[in-house]
Chains A and B, each alone.
Chain A
Amino acid sequence: MTIMTYRQALHDTLAEEMRRDDSVVLIGEEIGHFEGSYKITAGLLAEFGPTRVRDTPIAEEGFVGAAIGAAMLGMRPVVELMTINFSLLAIDQIVNHAAKIHAMFGGQVSVPIVIRTPGGGGQQLGASHSQNIEVYYAHIPGLKVVAPATPADAKGLLTAAIHDDDPVLVVENLGLYNAKGDVPDGDHELTIGTAAVVKPGTDITIVAYSRALTVALEVARELEQDGVSAEVVDLRSLRPLDRHTVVASVRKTSRAVVLEDDWLSYGIGAEIAATIQEGAFDYLDAPVRRVAAAEVPVPYAKPLETASLPDATALRKVVGEILDATAFSR
């Protein structure tokens, strides 16, 4: 194990995979000479040269589509989109092409492309730069969508994404790049499509992914001191979604809350709540609750922005309400 940042884990994984396989190429805006807006690709141009680390024009639809076309011929492009907000400029290529090509052409060709992109609010970047719109892509058959929450998972899921022959969206988070954690040395690959119980517990299940997982764990640790045993499930993969791990947890705890950075209506939490009611209806002692972002374009001013985003206080409040409603004695 080595302690490193989420950023470093991504960087090292890219470098390792590029050394291992020369069909892995990086494509994106400012990833070479500028070394990446968030410095994930620092030093890679120097090591691998301009044909493996390609700076692109500001043309998301063009270069995402080009990466898909290169993948159809057997390259393994890893695209960096500066933020998930800009993915909307490429959504035709992602949704109408990358996701469809394998099925629509009868399985004759694959699209082994990885799109890495950070979401996340809380950076005072205003409405157009602060979204968590991973659910747009999690809705689409043919895509795989993962959202690592820790440096170790960043390595494990990015490795899996690069080895995968299907289009994989790796949703990173601006609020996680500096987060530190233990990262396994050597080969470390997680299985896309699986969730993980990252803290076992018996009284309530907290479901989260990406940055929200950090908050969920923080609250779970506090609850432990109050005599409440919370189980924390990290979804890790938004498509496919590991419904079994969620349901198994709730069948044990009988209470559930989802913490998500996206908006409430039609969000990831809505899918989790539907999953729980179908798979654990008879086990539930209280309605499934969701703690999600206020449904406004994310504001710039710090007090407004903070008020709009889900946090530990909101999660603590909702957990307390669920426990009180079920006469849980602390």
Chain B
Amino acid sequence: MTDQSATRPARPRRGRASTAAEPAVAGRGPRDGSREVAPETLVAYYRQMALIRAFELRASEMYQRARIGGYCHLNLGEEATVVGLMAPLEPSDYLFTTYREHGYALARGSSPGRVMAELFGKQDGISGGWGGSMHLFDKAARLYGGYGIVGGQIPLATGAALAIAQRNEPGPDCPAVMCLMGDGTTNIGAFHESLNIAAVWRLPVVYVVVNNGLGMGTSVEASSGEPDLYKRGASYRIPGERVDGDDVVAVRAAAEAALTRARREHQPMLVEAVSQRLRGHSVVDPARYRSAEEVEAAKKADPVPAMRARLVASGALDAEAADRIDAEAEAAVDEAVAFAEKSPDPDIGKLFSNVYTTPVPNAPHQLPGDPLFAPGELEENVAAR
């Protein structure tokens, strides 16, 4: 028997790779490096990355201080991927994400205060305190949900693209859907069923695998028959492309190309951004399954200081201006925490108000320990018959 694992890379190689024989979209410009990107755009990206970094570090701290309950998964280490993916999304596009989504909400323009308030379980939370860290939703930003069930968002995103295809001809103004998932998600049935449906129905959806190398603590190589995840659309003739998730410009270019194809041709595409987690799966995970070397390598590749250094080196920012951006991010997060602290708890009197949209007779309304029938209710009801 051949040891197939020997032929597999220990970690996916970074940089560009594609399953498409030709570029997915013809006529786009060069995509490597920052030469064609205006310095102020790069600075704006750094500003978003710094905000996400500061927000996530504070979320971790607030979790340790028990201001945040439940699970809490952070985007630490993925900031370049997050910002690069959100950059080419239009306001008319829809985003479906995973439970590791605070950064995406911020980059999509959701208020940091309302996101923090949601983590705190407060009334002004972006999901009204009903969702928590894993279930952020912002209708105005067309952030159509963080989803806690691995892979659950993929059929939904595919259906959103169906609704778009039903109402819009292909073209540059057609909205598209971006559907995010982690590397471990590419093994779930919903991934394969959805990619197949998107292919046969020609749907404007971009599936993005954020590959941080680990599904909780299990490596991509240990869990995936095809560890080159960008190739996993091949069964459905969906082209794939792998990019370096630490390079915000490369991520943006790949996402933009895929979105353009979705809009103009109503065709799905698969993008794999190779990234990393700086910490454990969630705040409470010490990640003992990772070697010291791995953790060290991740720290070295940390995209936030790398981006800062790159901007300072290129002259786009001086150290003082970079410090100012970092300080502004901290201040925005201070403000977000203050907002979340001040927001009231959700009203228990409205516990049953979100169960249904269309009111319905006999909807349950009992709190634990309540009788099925309120005193006098039955007599009234029987008399009325």
Contacts and interface: CB of A to CB of B under 8 A. Distances in A.
Given A62-B197, A104-B127, A243-B373, A92 B152 contact: yes
Given A102-B355, A108-B127, A62 B190 contact: yes
Given A65-B159, A107-B353, A93 B152 contact: yes
A273 interface: no
A272 B253 CA distance: 60
A72 interface: yes
B373 A279 contact: yes
B162 A66 contact: yes
B190 A242 contact: no
Contact of A279 (B94, B128, B372, B385): B372
B190 A103 contact: no
Nearest to B380: A244
B155 A65 contact: yes
B127 A105 contact: yes
Interface stretch (B131-139, B258-266, B291-299): B131-139
A50 B15 CA distance: 41
B273 interface: no
B152 A65 contact: yes
A-B pairs, top 6 by smallest CB distance, nearest first, are A65-B155, A69-B159, A106-B128, A62-B193, A66-B159, A105-B137
Interface string B154-166: 1111111111101
A64 B155 contact: yes
Nearest to A275: B372
Given A59-B197, A69-B96, A92-B149, 19 more contacts: A25-B166, A57-B193, A61-B189, A63-B197, A69-B155, A69-B159, A73-B160, A75-B166, A92-B152, A92-B190, A93-B152, A93-B155, A104-B130, A105-B145, A237-B362, A240-B364, A242-B361, A243-B373, A248-B378
A65 B356 contact: no
Contacts of A59: 193, 196-197
A278 interface: yes
B155 A62 contact: yes
B200 A247 contact: no
Interface of A: 25, 51, 54, 56-57, 59, 61-75, 77, 92-93, 96-97, 101-110, 112, 141-142, 144, 164-166, 191-194, 237, 240-244, 247-248, 251, 275, 278-279
Contacts of A194: 361-362
B325 to A, nearest CB: 32
Q: Size range of the interface on B?
A: 35 or more
A142 B356 CA distance: 6
Contacts of A164: 358, 360
Given A57-B196, A242-B361, A65 B355 contact: no
A74 B94 CA distance: 13
Given A108-B137, A279-B372, A69 B158 contact: yes
Contacts of A247: 373, 378, 381-382
B130 to A, nearest CB: 5
Contacts of A248: 378, 381-382, 385
Interface of B: 94, 96, 125-131, 135, 137-139, 144-145, 147, 149, 152, 154-164, 166, 189-190, 193-194, 196-197, 200-201, 353-358, 360-364, 371-373, 378, 381-382, 385
Given A59-B196, A61-B155, A109-B144, A69 B160 contact: yes
A72 B160 contact: yes
B360 A192 contact: yes
Contact of B361 (A103, A112, A240, A278): A240
Contacts of B131: 104-106
A112 B158 CA distance: 17
Contacts of B135: 104-105
Contacts of B160: 69-70, 72-73
A54 B203 CA distance: 14
A248 B139 CA distance: 44
B190 A73 contact: no
Nearest to A98: B156
A66 B197 contact: yes
A96 B156 CA distance: 12
Looking at A66, A103, A165, the one whose CB has the most chain B CB atoms below 10 A away is A66
Contacts of B358: 164-166
Given A107-B354, A244-B381, A68 B372 contact: no
A112 B126 CA distance: 22
Given A62-B158, A69-B157, A251 B382 contact: yes
A315 to B, nearest CB: 25
12 contacts: A62-B196, A66-B156, A69-B157, A69-B160, A72-B163, A108-B137, A109-B139, A141-B355, A142-B356, A193-B361, A243-B372, A248-B381
Contact of A108 (B94, B139, B356, B385): B139
Contacts of B147: 97
Contacts of A109: 137, 139, 144
A214 to B, nearest CB: 24
Contacts of B129: 106
B152 A97 contact: yes
A70 B197 contact: no
Contacts of A278: 371-373
A68 B159 contact: yes
A65 B194 contact: yes
Most chain B Cβ neighbours within 10 Å, of A59, A71, A105: A105
A191 B190 contact: no
B193 A61 contact: yes
B208 to A, nearest CB: 16
B357 A166 contact: yes
B127 A67 contact: no
A73 B361 contact: no
Nearest to A110: B357
Nearest to B125: A106
Given A106-B128, A108-B139, A69 B156 contact: yes
Given A51-B166, A104-B127, A107-B128, A141 B354 contact: no
A68 B145 CA distance: 13
Interface centre among A142, A237, A248 (most CB of B within 10 A): A248
Contacts of A77: 159
A98 to B, nearest CB: 10
Given A59-B197, A109-B144, A191 B361 contact: yes
B287 to A, nearest CB: 27
A189 B151 CA distance: 37
Contacts of B356: 102, 142, 144, 166
